[in-house]
């Protein structure tokens, strides 16, 4: 069982010092995919980096500018291109002269990822997101007293990047790992095989703290990531059991597999099941009758 961390002390718009090098401002955009809202991290003092500036909300921009008053923003870092993470990057850069770092939105993320509605699957994609500097794995960014390295972590999206803070052995993990919930994997841009590999990659680094964009920090990192992986493997086993019982379509599996989950999240859950099944098909553990999509029929070999 995942040891979720759902308690978080905050006020919208307030800038909280959450560690010696990190401050946080939370946007007022709560929801089923954002929890209490987008947590924007400010790293350093004087010359700072801003991570995941969040949605274009005037109140939120004002709060960020107040938190940054008297300082120089040198870096704006974006973990991925969803509407709750990246849209404010360009307006903030225009106001501060900062450089935007990240990986560009995919040219064709698929129908499921487009628009704020996105069939109710996600907060929606910022398909126009293009950083000033396209990051590569291991790229180092630094300022006075702080050092960040880019860790490419595809899975939730193909362009997802986490950022390691050397001085505190901490990771800004975006939506790759969240303390309050599991992460949605939405094909075709999301990929379950990539996601498992990225979880292993983060675990191998041995971070002391994870700072998700939504929710509270994760302090017991290795047990939490192990539980995240075990949860995904258990879901995989449940899907195989459902197929063995003759449930050959995703729409028949979701109400059973996700009976305890908010029904508003069932469309997203269906996409995660699809992501699992697509990986199982690639591994030869499941057979697909036709294209591996939400409407296909599946069976064991």
Please give the pLDDT value at position 275: 96
H-helix or E-strand containing 47? strand 47-51
Catalytic entry in 16, 62, 84, 208: 84
84 catalytic, yes or no?
A: yes
- What distance in Å separates the CA atoms of residue 287 and residue 185, rounded to the nearest whole number? 21
Q: What is the CATH architecture assignment of 231-299?
A: Orthogonal Bundle (1.10)
Give the model confidence (pLDDT) of 194-239 as tens digits.
Answer: 999 999 999 999 999 999 999 999 999 999 999 999 999 999 999 9
If DSSP codes are grouped into helix, strand and coil, which group holds residue 210? strand
How confident is residue 268, by pLDDT bands cut at 50, 70 and 90? confident
What is the C-alpha to C-alpha distance for residues 93 and 87, in angstroms, rounded to an integer? Answer: 11
Instruction: List the domain boundaries for the chain.
Output: 15-229, 231-299
pTM score, two decimals? 0.93
How far is Cα of residue 188 from the mean position of the Cα atoms in its chain?
A: 16
Between helix 89-96 and helix 58-67 the angle, nearest 10°, is 40
Class of 15-229 per CATH? Answer: alpha beta
Contact 161, 151 (CB under 8 A): yes
**Distance between CA atoms of residues 244 and 251, nearest Å:** 16
């Amino acid at each position: 069982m995942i040891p979720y961390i759902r308690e978080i002390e905050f006020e919208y718009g307030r800038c909280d010092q959450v560690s010696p090098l990190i401050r946080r401002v939370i946007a007022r955009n709560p929801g089923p995919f954002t929890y209490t809202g987008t947590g924007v991290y400010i790293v350093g003092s004087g010359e700072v980096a801003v991570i995941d500036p969040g949605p274009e909300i005037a109140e939120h921009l004002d709060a960020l500018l107040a938190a940054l008053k008297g300082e120089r923003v040198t870096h704006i870092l974006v973990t991925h291109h969803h509407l709750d993470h990246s849209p404010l990057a360009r307006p903030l850069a225009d106001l501060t002269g900062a450089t935007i770092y990240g990986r560009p939105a995919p040219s064709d993320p698929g129908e499921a990822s487009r628009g704020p509605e996105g069939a109710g699957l996600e907060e929606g994609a910022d398909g126009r997101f293009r950083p000033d500097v396209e990051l590569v794995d291991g790229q180092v960014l630094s300022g006075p007293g702080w050092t960040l390295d880019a860790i490419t972590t595809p899975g939730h999206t193909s362009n997802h990047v986490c950022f390691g803070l050397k001085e505190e052995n901490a990771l800004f993990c975006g939506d790759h790992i969240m303390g309050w919930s599991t992460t949605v994997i939405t094909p075709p841009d999301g990929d379950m095989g990539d996601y498992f590999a990225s979880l292993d990659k983060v675990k191998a680094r041995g971070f002391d703290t994870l700072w998700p964009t939504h929710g509270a920090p994760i302090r017991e990192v290795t047990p939490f990531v192990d539980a995240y992986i075990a949860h995904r493997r258990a879901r995989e086993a449940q899907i195989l059991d459902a197929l063995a019982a003759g449930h050959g379509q995703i729409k028949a599996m979701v109400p059973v597999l996700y009976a305890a989950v908010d029904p508003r999240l069932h469309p997203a859950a269906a996409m995660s099941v699809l992501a699992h099944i697509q990986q199982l098909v690639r591994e030869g553990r499941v057979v697909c009758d036709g294209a591996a999509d939400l409407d296909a029929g599946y069976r064991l070999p």
